[in-house]
Amino acid sequence: MEHTATGWWIEEAGGPPPAQAPLEGPVDADVVVIGAGYLGMWTAWQLLERDPETEVVIVESGQAGHGPSGRNGGFVNGYWEYVPELASRFGLDPAIELARQADRSILEIGEFCRRGKVDAWYHQAPHLEISTAPYQDGAWREALWGLNRFGIDDEVVELVPAQVDQLCFSPVFRGGAWKRIGATVQPARLAFGLRSALLARGVRLFEHSEVCEIDQGEHSITVRTGRGRVHASHAVLAVNWRTTRWPAFSREVSVASSHIVLTEPVPDVIEEIGWTGGEAITDCQKMIHYFRTTRDGRIAFGWGGGRMAAGGLHSPDLDVDLEVVERTAATMRRFFPALEGREITHAWGGPIDVAPRTLPIYRSSGRLHAGWGFTGHGVGPSHLGGKILSGLALGARDEYTKLVLVEPPVKTFPPEPARTIGGNLIRGAMIRREDAQAAGEPVGPVTGLISQLPKLIGLNLPR
Ligand SMILES: Cc1cc2nc3c(=O)[nH]c(=O)nc-3n(C[C@H](O)[C@H](O)[C@H](O)COP(=O)(O)OP(=O)(O)OC[C@H]3O[C@@H](n4cnc5c(N)ncnc54)[C@H](O)[C@@H]3O)c2cc1C
């Protein structure tokens, strides 16, 4: 098994394209975007969609698409299950508007691929959420019934076990729910395709150029790297988990990790279990398992239960963590015993930018506009994020910049070191709790209490 930081998707996509030159000396722009993951690149794209004359510069510390954007699970998801909770906080119309815009983004990513001839394996298919143990049964009903109360009955639909079996058979699968609009992509192909499309439209991209300082003036903003600087009217910060470095936003982000294992091509197994529709599937654990098939007949199987980043700083086990990967592989084999004797060829992982309420946050601080907090669900939502941040950078007041994700009421994580210590304690307790529940064993009182802490202090757990 090849266990690396960057993973199989980037390799499959032909490896990283030749790097663009680093930033040297002074450069002027209308908008400078910091970070070339999906969010930064979609923002640059949307800036040009809004006004093709906009001078856009992107400054990237590594290579575009090498962060989580090039190595995620490729689930392109929307927001309908959040509608009941958002409706109670912001009202029904704003909640529905967000879910509709997120769906539009799912479809527009497909349109981008078709029009631009970007072969990112875009495949539209419903997403399934499946119970894999009695304690998970009906986990989707709170959202489902909440939606039904508002007369929305086709976005999330309950499936009985026999229907689940028809879509994908596993001896551990029980009932589930079906989310109507969803898609999957090959994440690195999408990231590299977007990068090429931006270069073709004249966006200047500087790679291997880490932004270390941002200075705000009354009429402009300057972004500095070790050897250069960009002077612009507005800047966009799209650095995912590294938002922890920027004090204006850092109290609203915490860093966890997620890891994926990948089988050799097993088209016969996929056929045997009837999983031929390309549906992306998750279980109903809080420490979520997510799995999908690939175009060449592999199964990619991920677990969102990776370690937290101490103090929000990078550590190697955010990307490469043998213990977490072994656990993930064992779960995949338990879910799909038909994989017996089949090889796991690749494993990798990456950091997750966790937001206090698990939905991304968009805020402005003077001329700096930032987005972060996808909490493991940024592939589709970052497209919508690009519409929001481009609007904020151009001073637009429109359907995107008015969404409930923009300047939401502040909810912070505890300060460090309590954030990391508490996060690790809760992670451990959640894993013990879900292991006990899956085995039908009682949950110890201390484990039970610690794993409930986020709920007690009003934080949502990442899924
Ligand atoms: C293993 C794994 C599986 C996942 N699976 C899914 C999934 O199936 N579906 C889903 O929706 N989401 C998933 N996610 C999350 C998803 O990948 C992210 O939400 C998404 O890629 C966010 O894009 P981004 O642009 O915010 O971040 P990134 O891709 O991290 O891009 C940020 C960029 O900023 C750059 N940067 C950072 N600091 C600086 C600086 N100071 N100066 C210049 N550049 C800087 C980084 O190098 C990076 O390229 C997964 C994540 C992981 C790790």
Q: Cβ(81) to ligand 1 under 6 A?
A: no
pTM of the model: 0.97
In eight-state DSSP terms, residue 399 is T
| DSSP per-residue string spanning 172-199 | T---EEEESS-EE--HHHHHHHHHHHHH
Residues 210, 224: one domain?
yes
Residues 107, 174: one domain?
yes
Instruction: State the closest ligand 1 atom to the C-alpha of 292, by its place in the atom list counted from 1.
Output: 8
Mutation pick for ligand 1 pocket among 63, 379, 382 (CB with most ligand atoms within 8 Å): 379
Task: Going residue by residue through the chain, which has 463 residues, state the pLDDT in tens, using 9 for 90 and above.
Answer: 999 999 999 999 998 899 999 999 999 999 999 999 999 999 999 999 999 999 999 999 999 999 999 999 999 999 999 999 999 999 999 999 999 999 999 999 999 999 999 999 999 999 999 999 999 999 999 999 999 999 999 999 999 999 999 999 999 999 999 999 999 999 999 999 999 999 999 999 999 999 999 999 999 999 999 999 999 999 999 999 999 999 999 999 999 999 999 999 999 999 999 999 999 999 999 899 999 999 999 999 999 999 998 877 888 999 999 999 999 999 999 999 999 999 999 999 999 999 999 999 999 999 999 999 999 999 999 999 999 999 999 999 999 999 999 999 999 998 888 888 888 888 899 999 999 998 899 999 989 888 888 777 766 655 5
Mutation pick for ligand 1 pocket among 46, 58, 72 (CB with most ligand atoms within 8 Å): 72
**Structural domain of residue 429, as residue ranges?**
418-456
Q: Which of 350, 380, 405 is the last residue of a domain?
A: 350
Residues 40, 121: one domain?
no
Q: Cβ(61) to ligand 1 under 6 A?
A: yes
Residues 231, 123: one domain?
no
For ligand 1, atom 31, name the residue with the nearest CA: 37
Q: CA 102, 396, 209, 378: dihedral to nearest 10 degrees?
A: -10
State in Å: Cα 92 to ligand 1 middle.
Answer: 30
Residues 244, 378: one domain?
yes
Distance (Å, rounded) from C-alpha 288 to C-alpha 283? 6
State in Å: Cα 187 to ligand 1 middle.
Answer: 11
Q: Is 245 exposed, middle or buried (0-12, 13-18, 19+ CB in 10 A)?
A: middle
State in Å: Cα 202 to ligand 1 middle.
Answer: 23
Domains of the chain: total: 3
Q: Cβ(67) to ligand 1 under 6 A?
A: yes
CATH of residue 223's domain is 3.50.50.60
Residue written as token pair 């015993």: 337
